[in-house]
Amino acid sequence: MSGGASVEETLELWASSLRGIKERIRPLFTQERVAASAARFLDVLLGNEPRKTGWMRAEAAGDPGPWRQQALLGRGTWDADALRDIVREYAVEQLCDDKAVLVIDETGFLKQGKASCGVARQYTGSAGKITNCQIGVFAAYVSDKGHAFIDRALYLPKAWTSDSARMRAARVPETVGFATKPVLAVEMIERALAAHVPFAWVAADSVYGVGDIEAVLRLSAGQGTKGERLYDWAYSELADLDASEYDEHRTGLWTRGLLIRRNPTDSDMAYFTTCCPKGTSIETLVRAEGTRWRIEEGFETAKNELGPDHNETRSWHGWHRHVSLVMLGLCHDGCRPTSSQQHAEKNEISTTKELIRWSVQEIRRLAFKLAQRQIKPAHILAWSVFRRAHQAAARRSHLKSKMQL
């Protein structure tokens, strides 16, 4: 099989999996027109429009105005949590691994005004400062097969939960009250456990602490974009814990410890608190810590390409519906069938220099360039091979410089 044929096969798999996802979510909608709007919404999210505002989404979908988009996110009656569960189910089907890591982190969505649900002046690492924004807490499932978001929650500051009129105006359910970010993280972990999601570790930023998460779990650096991420590591056990102190049904010793990372380039140090079964190797802890950057990669991809921060709805339901659809689009991209991809890469590498794996962005670029029919397919594929060979060469140079330190 030629390199061109293998690319076409992968693109067909990409399109076929998108059709399959649309079929999965069809039962969520009681009306065919709403289901059709959701399908077009996904198409536009995965399209090449630089911004994904309501008006631009509607125009790209071929709608005469923004009303269908507004109805899908705001006035409809479909359940965003049911969509979240479909995303989680699909991700686990494709990425399932007993050694997987559940990564918890937050990101900010910059906003103007005061009406959008949860908006307030608060710190967000996305901007590196206190600014007017919404904060979303997310859970990503990370395995050697890939990664995908499987849960999300909108953080409501006390200024919101203490103002009943404001909560009603944003259509926040009466059962929703103030919850800290660690509490939201615990709820996500509990949902994953209840759904029998297989994972061995949970990794989170320091803001989420360890106490509450430890009580729920008692569960226990890999490849980067330029190859292996090489650091010096050290691990120190600080205290032994009896699992029965947290849960009468559990036994065995656990260890709370400190994992230390040093960058050999500039000697910069980073510290990670750990809680794991006693006897866990430092190699295992390093691998679990090394997955945390995947969620940042997911945030970057989502914001740069799928526009979750272009959400113009102001309601609780609108935020969760929009973000859940974005998660579905990311899940489709991140959970492509791997066997065909590996087969295609094998064929390409046999006739060309070493290439990096197809990225989400590259697959999407090829799909839309070929669909436009403005450039010869052979030229489109040739540029793809050139890009990936150039990136592979950059990766080799990066690794070589690292190994010489």
Taking only the tens of pLDDT, the chain with its 405 residues reads 334 446 667 677 777 888 899 999 999 998 898 899 899 888 888 877 767 777 777 777 777 777 788 888 887 789 999 999 999 999 999 999 999 999 999 999 999 889 999 999 999 888 889 999 999 999 999 998 889 999 999 999 999 999 999 999 999 999 999 999 999 999 999 999 999 999 989 988 877 766 666 666 674 444 544 455 556 778 788 888 887 776 666 678 888 788 887 777 777 888 888 888 888 888 888 888 888 888 888 898 888 888 888 888 889 999 999 999 999 988 887 665 444 344 444 444 334 457 766 666 677 667 766 666 667 777 777 777 777 787 777 767 765 665 554
Beta strands, E only, 95-229 = 101-110, 120-124, 129-143, 146-155, 201-204, 223-224, 227-228
Q: Quick check: 67 and 114 in contact, CB under 8 A?
A: no
Contacts of 205 (CB under 8 A, 6+ apart): 104, 105, 106, 292
Q: Quick check: 38 and 72 in contact, CB under 8 A?
A: yes
3-state SS, residue 215: helix
Q: Quick check: 356 and 388 in contact, CB under 8 A?
A: yes
Q: How far apart are CA 277 and CA 132, in angstroms?
A: 41
Q: Quick check: 122 and 135 in contact, CB under 8 A?
A: yes
Contacts of 2 (CB under 8 A, 6+ apart): 347, 351
**pLDDT of amino acid 122:** 94
Query: Which string of b and e fits 234-248 if b means at least 16 CB within 10 Å?
Result: ebeeeeebebeebee
**pLDDT of amino acid 186:** 93
- The count of other CB atoms within 10 Å of the CB of residue 273 is 12
Partners of residue 258 on adjacent β-strands: 236, 273
| Tokens representing residue 100 in the block | 């997987």
**pLDDT of amino acid 219:** 47
Task: Please name which of 286, 339, 323, 355 lies closest in space to residue 117, comparing C-alpha atoms.
Answer: 323
| Tokens representing residue 266 in the block | 């500039």
Partners of residue 152 on adjacent β-strands: 138
3-state helix, strand, coil in the chain (%, to 5): 50, 20, 30
